[in-house]
Structure 1
Amino acid sequence: MSWSIFQCQDPDFSVRSAPDNITFGVSRHAMQRSEVFRDMFSLCEQEPGNSPEAPDAEGPNVVDLHEPADVLAILLRILHEPPKPPEEIVSDPPELDSYVKKYNEATVIPLPLLELVLLHLVDKYLLDESITRVLEQHLLAHAASNGLRVYSFAVANGMSKVANKASHYVLPMAQYTLQDVRCIPTVKAYHDIVRLQDFRVQALRDLLLKEDIFPHGYGACQPHAESTPTTWDTRRKALLARIETGSDIAWEMSSLVETFRDCKTCQKACIAAVDMLAYKCRRIPKTLEKLPSGYLE
């Protein structure tokens, strides 16, 4: 799909790209998805001598816009064919982590195009909120692969809900280059991410240290009452130094299930401990808004 190509099948008005002197036939009805054009048509209808007849390239039914033709075509496409939400790929069985979502890439508007539209066109032409909400959904669909970029763009443009959800996908800050982090618009936005990631790392470490394979001796295997906890403890201590904000410590510890394959009691206890780790990990805040009150102050 080429967003810079636009053609209206049944035009009753025209808009012209002043810089490129290219005229597009448009639908008045579609153009009224913009408050700017809605007000313009309302004012024009109040003036005598104006009529909603078919457009005449030199007549009163033409308005000049100071937009390049390719940008204007994008605006017109959005107004005439409002984008649908990106198509979510539902896993079977469903993901336990509701924040992890996957989308059909063919249904997602490219990120550079979204940045242009959201930064330049939405506010300038006051597009309907229904369109803006869908565009924000498309922006968020890029967060899993472009967490820092989406987070920074959302913060810079006052999209607090998008910024909050995108904060979950920002990689450990140490992995970014100086050039990468320059996109973060404010010191507070940078500090918030650092605090979120530090909170998660500390919480994951504390959780791992407190989770025993035989909690309070429950389900203990008498023949392996010492060796199994030692193996579990050795593995988790080795993992502690490698924990990052996005670490899946339950998955890391699950490799021990095979280690205990020769003892059904120990293996059952290991599976239960790993499942409990996974459950408790899901309760650790993943986004800024889930942090304890006052933590970011």
Structure 2
Amino acid sequence: MPPTPWSEDFKQMELADADFVVRSIQDGQAFHVKRERLEQGSNVFRAYLKIPYRGDMFACCESGYVLDTLDEDGHTLDMDESAEKLGMLFQLLHHLPEPYEETRAGFTKLQIELPTEIAIPFPLLPTLYALADKYALSDTILQVLHTHLGAYASTYPLRVYGYATTLGVDDVAACASSFLLAPPLSSYTAADVKVVPSAPAYHRLVQLHDYRIKKLGELVMGEEIFPHGYGKCPRHGAKTQEVWEARKKVVGGKIQAATDVAAEMADIGKEFAGCDTCAKAANAAISMLRYKCAKVPKRVDKIPV
């Protein structure tokens, strides 16, 4: 098994069976790598290393893009890239991490705390994605990066939502949106929301909040404690109905996208502590409300367009 790639000094990566050398023009650092891995994982390397004469192939590209020339033997390549970035790039090409387990099955596992050390550290992911784009890395590598981005959906939900939306990784973006129900969107600063790449992407979050607030409000206001008179207490029925309706108005007036409506209504239980019939009816109504509210979409990809 290769070493954990993201806990090492990137500049020190070297393979015992290397057959190719890449040297950083910026730092003078040489990397001993496998030519086959470069060609398999990168369309840029594949195109460059396959043609007989390379010369100044990339001279017309943006400054600092990729390559200078191979040496006379064709075994050493100079690249106008920092040693740190080359090290990260070659780690992906030679020691690709496993997909992050908790997100492999569809980005559904709630991650209360920061992921364990098996996830690529979050601050590295933007640079890795930039390298993946610059060197046209394979879909296999990109899919692994997506799972590691998804690992942080609950710890950095707004940033993950922004990155994933920019990258077009819709399942990761949708997962992150489910962790953006609280606080209210209005609490974010302008600097915070800059990570969201477009007005439509931000608007989807607004729509999600609006949909949930309206739907939760409809559910709580429509829930009856004695539906069709069923289970109505002959002694306290009228009073219980009055208390229930009053509580619904209080809860309905302060609903946010992340409000646990059933829990808010459960506070009414102490009002009926002296009557088993009324307490039973309240518990049944709250349970039904909890069931209905659980079905209200929590992700941007689940709300009506």
**What TM-score does the superposition give when structure 2 sets the normalisation length?**
0.79
Q: Distance in 2 between matches of 1:29 and 1:261?
A: 74
Q: Paired residue for 1:102?
A: 111
Q: Paired residue for 2:287?
A: 275
Stretches of structure 2 lacking an aligned partner (at least 5 in a row): 1-5, 54-69
Aligned with 2:35 (options 4, 23, 28): 28
Aligned with 1:291 (options 280, 288, 303): 303
Query: Deviation digits for residues 91-137 of structure 1, max 9, x if unmatched?
Result: xxxxxxx945227433322222111211x111112222122112112
Q: Which moved more, 1:251-260 or 1:62-71?
A: 251-260
Aligned with 2:166 (options 132, 156, 179): 156
| Residue type of the alignment partner of 1:169 | F
After superposition, the CA RMSD in angstroms is: 2.8
In the alignment, is the contact (CA less than 8 A) between 1:87 and 1:108 conserved in 2? no
Q: Paired residue for 1:137?
A: 147
Quickly say closer, same or farther: Cα 1:124–1:209, change in 2 above 3 A: same
Superposed counterparts of 1:75-224, under 5 Å: 75-88=89-102, 99=108, 101-102=110-111, 104-118=115-129, 120-170=130-180, 171=182, 172-224=184-236
| Residue type of the alignment partner of 1:193 | L
Q: Paired residue for 2:81?
A: 67
Q: Distance in 2 between matches of 1:106 and 1:132?
A: 20
Q: Paired residue for 1:43?
A: 51
Q: Distance in 1 between matches of 2:227 and 2:85?
A: 62
In the alignment, is the contact (CA less than 8 A) between 1:86 and 1:107 conserved in 2? yes
| Count of residues in correspondence between the two structures | 274
- Offset at residue 165 of structure 1 (A): 2.9
Q: Which moved more, 1:15-24 or 1:218-227?
A: 218-227
In the alignment, is the contact (CA less than 8 A) between 1:154 and 1:162 conserved in 2? yes
Quickly say closer, same or farther: Cα 1:16–1:203, change in 2 above 3 A: same
1:10 aligns with 2:21: no
Q: Paired residue for 1:93?
A: none
Q: Distance in 1 between matches of 2:242 and 2:109?
A: 34
In the alignment, is the contact (CA less than 8 A) between 1:3 and 1:77 conserved in 2? no
Q: Paired residue for 1:50?
A: none
- Offset at residue 201 of structure 1 (A): 0.8
Identical positions, percent? 39
